[in-house]
Amino acid sequence: MAVYTDVAADDLAAFLAPYDLGDLLSYKGIAEGVENTNFLLHTTRGSFILTLYEKRVAEDDLPYFLALMAHLAARGVSCPQPAKTRDGTICGTLSGRPAVVINFLEGVWPRRPGVVHCAGVGEALARMHLAGLDFPHYRSNPLSVGGWRPLFNMAASRADEIQPGLRDFIAAELAHLEGCWPQQLPTGVIHADLFPDNVFFIGDTLSGLIDFPFACNDILAYDVAICLNAWCFEPDLAFNATKARALLSAYQRARPLSEAEQAALPLLARGAAMRFLLTRLVDYLDVPEGALVKPKDPLEYVRKLRFQQTVATIRDYGVEAAGAVA
């Protein structure tokens, strides 16, 4: 359960008073997510999600992704919308944290993503990338290649507690990635955390995307690589080429990848695996006292990274190269 910050009922009632969200009937901490504190609110006007932003979200970044959610929704990408107070304010402060109320999105995230879900997320990701092309704001990605060494430095001295040799493994891979990270690929707005728990479905139909605090401007194909890692491995961490084909084909039907993007995909997937390995490692080694959270397993991403190191071309994902989109 991700609840880092407690909220007293009186404080919540005072926080909600300037909104037109009805009277608060109940609220409870949400047993999912690892980054921020989330509560499900029931009011006389319906259900809402209250998010208190924690350590990885700077208050200055909130306007970017709150505006992005409105921009995407206006272009047909289903995602929650922030509630406004009667004077038009979106973000407030609650229990000392920046806090926002968003509407409740119907659907459930797939606990065991199948091929149909991979196709759904591939298409939705491409549509999100296209919808973001005219988004007028810019936020660099603090968790791209330049942000990985500071994370490594935070965890390096204790990495071998998780797995002997992990420190040297990461050090070598990080040096490699820093030396050849691509600079010329198409960029735009990326979600940067589009894992299965951030994509809702009703039946087999995708109903919406949530959780935009990592959204930023970065290499579009890097977002595809994040999804390959998050969606196309089995619980035993075997790579599933059928799922990768479904995800990449659906993506490319909406937004074909250039030859350069296709060629870079294995490298981007190594970087994407490194990014989540590092944040998981840092979080695993430093769970805040009293926090209700189940940290995610860094070793899952060591295994995924080791797989991606064996991939030479997009064909190794079971996908035909440029032009031949299934």
Q: Tokens in use for 164?
A: 């002997």
* Nearer to ligand LJ64HWYM (CB atom), residue 231 or residue 239: 231
**Amino acid at residue number 152:** F
218 is in the binding site of which of ligand ADP, ligand LJ64HWYM, none (Cβ under 5 to 8 A by kind)?
Answer: none
Q: Residue 51: beta bridge partners? A: 38, 100
Give the distance between the most distant pair of CA atoms in the chain: 59
Number of residues that bind ligand LJ64HWYM (CB under 6 A): 12
Tell me which H or E stretch contains 261: helix 259-285
296 is in the binding site of which of ligand LJ64HWYM, ligand ADP, none (Cβ under 5 to 8 A by kind)?
Answer: ligand LJ64HWYM
**CA dist., res. 242 & res. 239, Å (int):** 9
The answer to the question of residue 212 lying near ligand LJ64HWYM (CB under 6 A) is no
* Nearer to ligand LJ64HWYM (CB atom), residue 2 or residue 264: 2
Q: Tokens in use for 266?
A: 């294995």
3-state DSSP helix/strand/coil % of the chain, to nearest 5: 45, 15, 35
* Nearer to ligand LJ64HWYM (CB atom), residue 193 or residue 261: 193
**Amino acid at residue number 195:** F
Which of the 8 DSSP states describes residue 233? Answer: B
* Nearer to ligand ADP (CB atom), residue 49 or residue 221: 49
210 is in the binding site of which of ligand LJ64HWYM, ligand ADP, none (Cβ under 5 to 8 A by kind)?
Answer: ligand ADP
102 is in the binding site of which of ligand ADP, ligand LJ64HWYM, none (Cβ under 5 to 8 A by kind)?
Answer: ligand ADP
The answer to the question of residue 223 lying near ligand LJ64HWYM (CB under 6 A) is no
| In the complex, minimum distance from the CB of residue 107 to ligand ADP, in angstroms, rounded to a whole number | 8
Q: Considering only residues 16-45, where is the footprint of ligand LJ64HWYM by CB under 6 A? A: 33-35
**CA dist., res. 73 & res. 31, Å (int):** 26
**CA dist., res. 154 & res. 179, Å (int):** 21
* Nearer to ligand LJ64HWYM (CB atom), residue 208 or residue 249: 208
Q: Considering only residues 225-284, where is the footprint of ligand LJ64HWYM by CB under 6 A? A: 276, 279-280
| In the complex, minimum distance from the CB of residue 20 to ligand LJ64HWYM, in angstroms, rounded to a whole number | 29
**CA dist., res. 296 & res. 273, Å (int):** 13
**CB hemisphere CA count around 159 (13 angstroms):** 22
SS3 46: strand
Residues 78/207, Cβ–Cβ less than 8 Å: yes
**Residues found near ligand ADP in the complex (CB under 6 A):** 2, 30, 32-36, 38, 49, 51, 80, 102, 104-105, 197-198, 210-211
The answer to the question of residue 149 lying near ligand LJ64HWYM (CB under 6 A) is no
SS3 86: coil
| In the complex, minimum distance from the CB of residue 100 to ligand ADP, in angstroms, rounded to a whole number | 11
Binding residues for ligand LJ64HWYM, rule: CB under 6 A, are 33-35, 193, 195, 197-198, 211, 276, 279-280, 296
